Amino acid sequence: MKKIGTLVLVLLGLAFLGGGAYSIARGLQARDQVRTELLDQKIVSPPDAAIPGANVDDARTAKAMGDIIDVHSRKVTGGRTYAELGRYVATDGNPAGTSEEAKAVLGPNGRPVANPLRGVAFEASALRTSLYTSVMAFNVADLVVGLGFMMLALGAVLGGAGICLGRRAVVRAHQPRIDLVSATPLGRNLGAADEVATVGR
């Protein structure tokens, strides 16, 4: 049973070591892929961003870029989000526009004129969603790498414990057994008395 327990610990240790190494490799690969995609876009944060003039290539710069896009978008739309803006330009001059064709300004073709602010808000929302998705991807990749290192540590502990137990069992198996009774003076005297009593019988 002790040999089986030792073997199980060693196998578990190896499994955790392999799983940890795989997790670290996949996490680093995912992080590098996201970084490459961002660099291919050649995005540079503006001067008024939290991290000005930086190439967007990690979670910090991606979040800073997403935040400043939201600031700029709200300045243009008067603080309104995409959902708060109407589809068309309103005849009453309301900057929020209107989604009712009857209240919309008509173009030369007789169709309602699209609200340009809604297009700005939509593009800003799409860009921010993409950048924040990159932030989440970086965070998930870091989490996977961290879990990989934890698995490596656990595997090392389990495998080391199994190896130590196995060595201890081998050492005990090769140690000579000592007869504690005959190894002491009192034991030898008792043994001699028993022999004399046996001969006398």
Residue 196 neighbours by CB distance under 10 Å: 9
Quick one: pLDDT at residue 160? 85
For position 179, what pLDDT does the model report? 52
Token pair in block for residue 94: 């309301």
Q: In the 8-state DSSP scheme, what is residue 43?
A: -
pLDDT of residue 93: 87
- 101-115 in b/e form (b: 16+ CB < 10 A) is eebbbeeeeeebbbb
Name the nearest CA neighbour of 154 among 32, 30, 16. Answer: 16
The pLDDT value given to residue 190: 45
Q: How many residues are there in the chain?
A: 201
Q: What is the DSSP string of 44-67?
A: B--TTSSSTT-B--SHHHHHHHHH
Q: What is the pLDDT of residue 195?
A: 46
pLDDT, one tens digit for every residue, the chain (201 residues): 567 777 888 888 899 999 999 999 999 999 999 999 999 999 999 999 999 999 999 999 999 999 999 999 999 999 999 999 999 999 998 989 999 998 999 999 989 999 999 999 999 999 999 999 999 999 999 999 999 999 999 999 988 888 887 667 556 656 555 554 455 554 455 454 454 444 445
Contact assessment for residue 46 and residue 127, using Cβ atoms and an 8 Å cutoff: no
Distance CA 85, CA 125 (A): 13
